[in-house]
């Protein structure tokens, strides 16, 4: 873009999940995550063992600070005067803390960047619902749904799983992982590429495709196919490399169907098929937070060791320059669309760019049961 312009936005809001910073934060954090579900603290203590194994601290907050700094640097590099304000749904700085900062800065309209690349309830709508709830509690949204004069108006960048910056970041991470694996084990032995993402309930999976061109799982499959095509074309993986998509981090009662297979079960299947080398790629995650650090780096790599699989876990996009640059491109794209300008929405994979304004009842938890909860940044 020759003349980058962030008008009409006063700020970029980096909106994330949050995580504990010390052991005494763990149970209160998990109470926030599971609010309204009636889960006793004794059970939360059991779940918290994942965090206690890392000193009671999730990597996510430091990684969000790193992403915030990288976005600020990229905006400044392009000559864009736009503050980046960070807030979380489940831990400090909370949503209301971010809104306090915006009020102090006189922010009137902000573009929201959620740290989830895919369209689903937990990756998009839940953030928009939580913001609406907090704004109503603060009195920023009136009973009739209109914004008060002091409220911040939010727009949101589109799901960016197939944006070139996100694709390139994952391609480069996997390229590096293959090089690392080849340096420590026989490159002549075929390697399986195991893509991984966060599992979600099947009801949420079905609902994710009602107002979108593809469901949550289909978005991942399209991304994986594009990544493999680019890696094959560059010669960084064998032309006949095989790949699959599996899942991690499921929760909820065993009776509730979630997307499968689990990565550990899948690794056992691969070993049974004679696979000896694996690259695990967490394409469903933006950074190396707890699901990556525990579910993959701890559990999945331990499964590989038990099975005798040579394995490397590829990096996430994190603060890779190509990814951060792509996020700023998305901000500029959203600003142009907000101004009513025609703007090419860059997308790779077989899927076109998703909508920038979320339709009514988009990405519900269950498509047959509208949530009834107000949202921001959509219709």
Distances (CA, A) of 100 to 36, 93, 255, 355: 25, 10, 42, 29
pLDDT in tens, 203-251: 999 999 999 999 999 999 999 999 999 999 999 999 999 999 999 999 8
Buried b (16+ CB within 10 A) or exposed e, 135-160: beebebbeeeeeeeeebbebbbbbbb
Q: What angle do CA 119, 120, 121 make, to 5 degrees?
A: 140
Answer whether residue 1 shows pLDDT above 60. no
pTM attached to this predicted model = 0.96
Nearest to 249 by CA among 38, 40, 68, 17: 17
Q: In the chain, where do the E strands start and end?
A: 11-16, 84-88, 109-114, 153-156, 191-198, 242-248, 277-281, 310-313
Answer whether residue 370 shows pLDDT above 80. no
Q: Tell me what pLDDT residue 143 has.
A: 84
Nearest to 14 by CA among 78, 54, 74: 74
Q: Tell me what pLDDT residue 131 has.
A: 97
Nearest to 110 by CA among 353, 379, 334: 334
Q: Using only C-alpha atoms, what is the Rg of the chain? A: 21
Instruction: Place 37 in a pLDDT band, splitting at 50, 70 and 90.
Output: confident
Q: Tell me what pLDDT residue 2 has.
A: 58
Dihedral over Cα of 180, 182, 186, 192: its sign: positive
The helix/strand/coil state of 285 is: coil
Structure tokens at 314: 């590829």
All structural domains of the chain? 11-161+320-338 (3.40.50.1400), 164-313 (3.40.50.1400)
**CB within 8 Å of 89: residues ≥ 6 apart:** 15, 16, 17, 18, 32, 95, 126, 127, 130
Alpha carbons within 13 A on the beta-carbon side of 306: 11
- The DSSP bridge partners found for residue 147 are 141
Residue pair 87/128 in contact by the 8 Å Cβ criterion? no
Answer whether residue 163 shows pLDDT above 60. yes
Backbone φ and ψ of 75, nearest 5°: -60, -45
């Amino acid at each position: 873009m020759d003349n980058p312009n962030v008008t009409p936005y006063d700020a970029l809001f980096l909106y994330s999940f949050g995580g504990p910073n010390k052991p005494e934060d763990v149970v209160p954090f998990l109470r926030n995550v599971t609010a309204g579900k009636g889960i006793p603290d004794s059970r939360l203590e059991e779940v918290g063992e994942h965090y206690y194994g890392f000193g009671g601290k999730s990597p996510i907050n430091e990684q969000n600070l790193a992403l915030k700094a990288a976005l600020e640097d990229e905006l400044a590099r392009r000559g864009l005067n736009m503050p980046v304000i960070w807030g979380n749904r489940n831990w400090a700085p909370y949503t209301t803390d971010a809104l306090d900062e915006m009020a102090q800065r006189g922010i009137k309209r902000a573009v929201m960047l959620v740290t989830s690349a895919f369209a689903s309830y937990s990756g998009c709508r839940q953030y928009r619902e939580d913001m609406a709830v907090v704004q109503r509690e603060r009195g920023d949204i009136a009973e009739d749904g209109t914004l008060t004069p002091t409220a911040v108006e939010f727009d949101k960048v589109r799901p960016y799983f197939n944006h070139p910056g996100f694709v390139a970041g994952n391609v480069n991470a996997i390229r590096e992982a293959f090089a690392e694996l080849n340096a420590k084990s026989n490159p002549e032995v075929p390697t399986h590429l195991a893509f991984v993402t966060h599992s979600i309930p099947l009801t949420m999976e079905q609902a994710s495709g009602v107002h979108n061109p593809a469901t949550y799982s289909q978005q991942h499959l399209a991304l994986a196919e594009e990544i493999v095509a680019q890696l094959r074309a560059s010669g960084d993986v064998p032309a006949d490399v095989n790949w699959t998509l599996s899942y991690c981090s499921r929760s909820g009662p065993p009776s509730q169907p979630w997307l499968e297979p689990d990565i550990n079960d899948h690794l056992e299947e691969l070993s049974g098929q004679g696979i000896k080398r694996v690259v695990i790629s967490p394409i469903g995650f933006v950074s190396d937070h707890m699901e990556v650090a525990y579910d993959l780096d701890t559990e999945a790599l331990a499964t590989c060791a038990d099975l005798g699989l040579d394995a490397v876990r590829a990096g996430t996009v994190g603060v890779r320059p190509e990814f951060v640059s792509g996020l700023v491109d998305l901000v500029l794209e959203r600003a142009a669309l907000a101004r009513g300008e025609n703007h090419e929405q860059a997308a790779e994979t077989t899927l076109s760019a998703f909508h920038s304004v979320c339709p009514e009842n988009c990405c519900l938890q269950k498509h047959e049961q509208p949530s009834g909860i107000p949202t921001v940044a959509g219709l």
